[in-house]
Each structure stands twice: as structure tokens, then as C-alpha cells.
Amino acid sequence: MLCLLLVVISIGAWSAGTEQDLDAAEEGFIAALLANDRSELEKVLGAEFFYNTATGRSLAKKAFLQYLDAGQLSVQFAARSEVRTTYYEDVAIVSGVYRVEAVLAGKASTSRSRYLHVWYRQNSSWRLVARQVTYLDG
């Protein structure tokens, strides 16, 4: 009985730590975008990262970073809501809604979008490997 209790407690602790670590990774991704911190983005984005944008473009990691380097996107503000997370061992799927204020191709823009992030835990760190965004009305 004591062994079972210890297993349940350790699973609960692993789960809480996993959720906190993933939430920190999500916030770190946004903080890196806000600061246009390429070195931090290099760390948080997995080697296989791709981004399906709300306009239909698909960008691999290198193309996404070049897009940011070229000044095509400057995120000024981002807030998450309606966040839902599902875990599958070392994979997590996060969906929610972002409200974003940004400068896109030189034009100020405010948008709401539904997003889907796929994260992979590698060597105890979460890496964002896929991002999909769809604009919402209003």
C-alpha cells in the first residue's frame, strides 16, 4: 500500500513539474518573440520546427528566424487565454487563443487567433516543434 501511495505521489509531482515547465516554455517563447531574442528562439524551437501561419504560409525554423531577422514581424504585445494542454509522454499539445499587437510588414496590426503548439520534451527541456495559427473574427 505504501509503495502504491509513493507511486501516486511521484506521478502527481512529475505532472505538476511537467505542467510548470511547459508553461514556462510557452511564456519563454512569447518573451523571446517580444524581445526579438534570436538566441532564445534558437533554444526553444526544435530543429524540426515549422510554423503554419494564419495567411497560409508554412515556414521551417530557418525561414521563420530569417523572417524575424528581416523585420517582417515585430510582436509588441501577446496574451494567451483559453489554454488547454494534453500530454502524451514526451509530447504536449497546447491550444488556446492569442491576442497580439504587432507590426507586420511595416503595418500595425491587432489580432485574435486560435493557436496550436506541439512541444517535444528533449533532455528535460521542452522544444516547440510545430505552430499553427488561425485568425478569429473580432
Q: Where residue 76 sits, what CATH number does that domain have?
A: 3.10.450.50
pLDDT: which is higher, 15 or 12: 15
Least-confidence region, from 5-14, 44-53, 60-69, 77-86? 5-14
Residue 8 has pLDDT above 60, yes or no: no
pLDDT tens readout for residues 19-68? 899 999 999 999 999 999 999 999 999 999 999 999 999 999 999 999 99
Written as nine digits, the cell of 45 is 524551437
Residue 96 has pLDDT above 60, yes or no: yes
How high is the pLDDT of residue 44?
96
For every residue of 54-107, DSSP letters joined together read TTS-EEEHHHHHHHHHTTSEEEEEEEEEEEEEEEETTEEEEEEEEEEEEEETTE
Q: How many domains does the chain have?
A: 1
Written as nine digits, the cell of 62 is 530557418
Place 6 in a pLDDT band, splitting at 50, 70 and 90: very low
Q: Which amino acid is at 91?
A: V
Are 80 and 98 in contact, with CB atoms under 8 Å apart? Answer: yes
CA dihedral for 38, 44, 45, 51, sign (positive or negative): negative
Domain enclosing residue 107, as ranges = 2-136
How high is the pLDDT of residue 138?
62
Place 18 in a pLDDT band, splitting at 50, 70 and 90: confident
Least-confidence region, from 5-19, 65-79, 87-101? 5-19
- pTM given for the model: 0.84
How high is the pLDDT of residue 130?
99
